Chain A
Amino acid sequence: MQRISSWLPVFASVALVCGVVMAPLLLLLRVSLYEPATGRGFYTPGTFTFANYAIFADSHVLGIAGFTVLCGVAVATMVLAIAYPLGLFLCSLPPRAQSIAVGLILVPKTAGLLAMLFGLQRWLPRGMLATIIAEVYLVLPYSVIVIYIQLLNLDPTLRDAARGLGASPWQVFRRVTLPLSLPGIRLAFQFGLMWGLGAFLGPLFLGGPSETTLAVELHRQAFEYGRWPLAATEAVGLLIVVSIAAWGVPTVAQLRKVAHS
């Protein structure tokens, strides 16, 4: 009895993953393998085909995929460039000020998403920069928190020890703080990358015609043109790109191996 009850949470989570993640994915895959519907429904039954995947040879779609990757890398890089110094700054504050500052960083998240985007729209002219800034703005609080917590968990006596051994503040940062915060850096970068690859609202509200990401494009295919199988195909493509990004970011151990060789 006890054994079964201890496995219960595992079964529950497996069921949840299957129901909420796997089932829609399989459905998506299935829809991508049929011709678009001519009348009602998502696709034309009985027309099993791989033809939809030919869109990835199309220069228009390739251009969109290219911009999507660019958006992901740009968002991740910018997020890291802002979040890491901000995390360092937060950690340098006295404890009481830290909790106030963390609260302030999270404030934008309490405003509605649309309110934030309309606000940005008033200040930024539509274009690539505005698109990327919007996405950075949306994901930044999470990334800052990730890095802040990582830095907060570093043992302060390690920095003291480094100082005592003769390291200047910069050497302490480069040789102790930075390498020990790599896991947080990796996580924040990965986070920004996946967020940027899936960018939807930023390009929609602040992008021009050339700032179309795969997410915007597949939305258009589905809801404007009603071509669900093509939208599903693009969604599968996006899923593959995001998965590669998620797995492709080197782990800290791998980075260290490279650094040592």
Chain B
Amino acid sequence: MSFGYGRDLVVNDVSLSIPAGAFVTILGPSGCGKTTLLRLLGGYLSPARGQIFLHGRDVTPLPPNLRQVGMVFQSYALFPHLTARQNVAFGLEVRGRSKTEVCQHVDAAFDRVGLSVTERDRFPSQLSGGQQQRVALARALAFEPPVLLLDEPLASLDRHLREQVRLELCRIHRQSGVTTVMVTHDQEEALASSDLVAVMQAGRLLQVGPPRELYDRPRSSFVARFLGDANLIEGAQLGMTPKSLFLVRPECVRVGHNWPGKIVALNFHGADLVADVQCRDFTLRLRTRAIGELAVGDKIALDLPQEHLWEIPAEGDL
């Protein structure tokens, strides 16, 4: 499908198939159209062209309230005039469920996201950012939608909380089996949580696949760079087919003897050491367990193991 404001296409000819029960992450830099894509899935925007199917049913003309899709907004969008409990009950009440059913589902949803009993009757303004997020998640899950949409769910949390919440999202996904589509610009989040990652750039879907595949065998230099540190070397420089482009991840570069060079930068990260090595007319980045005494200016020789060299298909390159 496609969507645009005026003549600019924000989502450009995107086609994506999401298996039921999967955890899919749409990954891309800010402004690439990933949130717009999510809003299209939720029914908050209508595509200019194309269709959306949910379990084989065309839901394109349906407004959000008839789509059965739960959404957690980046700002959480909790109703400030309702308590956490009333927020979570909202989706059940508007569906006309009975009081006892609402109570049961609300408590089950709170249990699932791990919000303590004392916090359930507070107003959103009395809850911390992390607690508000749990409420938003419980609210989206309470009416048991088959699909859950998460818009940058970890973006407004601080660093140590982010990893914890990410793990909880994975646990909730495993336990509930709800098909989850998450939007993020953080490649670590995407690689760690997802069954499938879809990389977007400038409104287009560049590549969709399991995290491992995207990381090891990207089809474009953009995907290669966006998913992590990448050494991209032209074939000619390696004495191979000219015009080809090769990827080798810094952690796959070995200390050896084939590519002698000089260390031009050195960064210690605790668990490992990242060294930029100038070899002839290109620079190689090496990530390794801290090795001996290295210093900027030292001479070092590197090896590029053949099995870790990945040729990026020319037509996929941007």
Q: Which residues of A contact B (CB under 8 A)?
A: 155, 157-158, 160-168, 171, 175-176, 179-180, 256
Q: Are A160 and B143 in contact (CB under 8 A)?
A: no
Q: What chain A residues lie within 8 Å of B70 (beta carbons)?
A: 164-165
For A175, give its contact among B42, B64, B94, B140 (CB under 8 Å).
B94
Q: Are B94 and A164 in contact (CB under 8 A)?
A: no
Known contacts A168-B65, A171-B94, A175-B94; is A163 also within 8 Å of B77 by CB? no
Q: Are B63 and A155 in contact (CB under 8 A)?
A: no
Is B316 on the interface with A (CB-CB < 8 A)?
A: no
Q: Are A164 and B75 in contact (CB under 8 A)?
A: no
Known contacts A175-B94, A179-B81, A180-B80; is A165 also within 8 Å of B75 by CB? no
Sampled A-B contacts (15; CB under 8 Å) = A157-B73, A157-B75, A161-B73, A161-B78, A161-B79, A162-B79, A163-B63, A164-B44, A164-B71, A165-B70, A165-B90, A165-B143, A166-B66, A166-B143, A168-B94
Given A160-B77, A166-B65, A175-B79, 7 more A-B residue pairs with CB atoms under 8 Å apart are: A160-B64, A161-B73, A164-B71, A166-B94, A166-B95, A180-B79, A180-B81
User: B135-168, CB under 8 A of A: which get 1 and which 0?
Assistant: 0000110010000000000000000000000000
Within 8 A of A (CB), among B44-85: 44, 63-71, 73, 75, 77-81
Q: Are B94 and A167 in contact (CB under 8 A)?
A: yes
Is B91 on the interface with A (CB-CB < 8 A)?
A: yes
Q: Are B94 and A155 in contact (CB under 8 A)?
A: no
Q: What chain B residues lie within 8 Å of A171 (beta carbons)?
A: 94
Q: What chain A residues lie within 8 Å of B80 (beta carbons)?
A: 158, 180
For the complex of A and B, the 8 pairs showing the least CB-CB separation, nearest first, are A165-B91, A161-B77, A163-B64, A157-B77, A167-B94, A164-B71, A164-B64, A166-B65
Q: How far apart are the CA atoms of A62 and B77 in the complex, in Å?
A: 52
Q: What chain A residues lie within 8 Å of B95 (beta carbons)?
A: 166
Q: What chain A residues lie within 8 Å of B91 (beta carbons)?
A: 165-166
Chain B's closest residue to A174 (CB) is B94
Q: How far apart are the CA atoms of A69 and B98 in the complex, in Å?
A: 44
Q: Are B65 and A163 in contact (CB under 8 A)?
A: yes
In the complex, how many angstroms separate the beta carbon of A2 from the nearest chain B beta carbon?
A: 34
Chain A's closest residue to B63 (CB) is A163
Q: What chain B residues lie within 8 Å of A179 (beta carbons)?
A: 81
Q: Are B79 and A164 in contact (CB under 8 A)?
A: no
Q: Are B42 and A164 in contact (CB under 8 A)?
A: yes
Q: How far apart are the CA atoms of A234 and B94 in the complex, in Å?
A: 52
Known contacts A155-B77, A157-B75, A158-B79; is A165 also within 8 Å of B94 by CB? yes
Chain B's closest residue to A157 (CB) is B77
Known contacts A157-B77, A179-B81, A180-B80; is A164 also within 8 Å of B90 by CB? no
Chain A's closest residue to B69 (CB) is A164
Chain A's closest residue to B90 (CB) is A165
Q: How far apart are the CA atoms of A39 and B78 in the complex, in Å?
A: 70
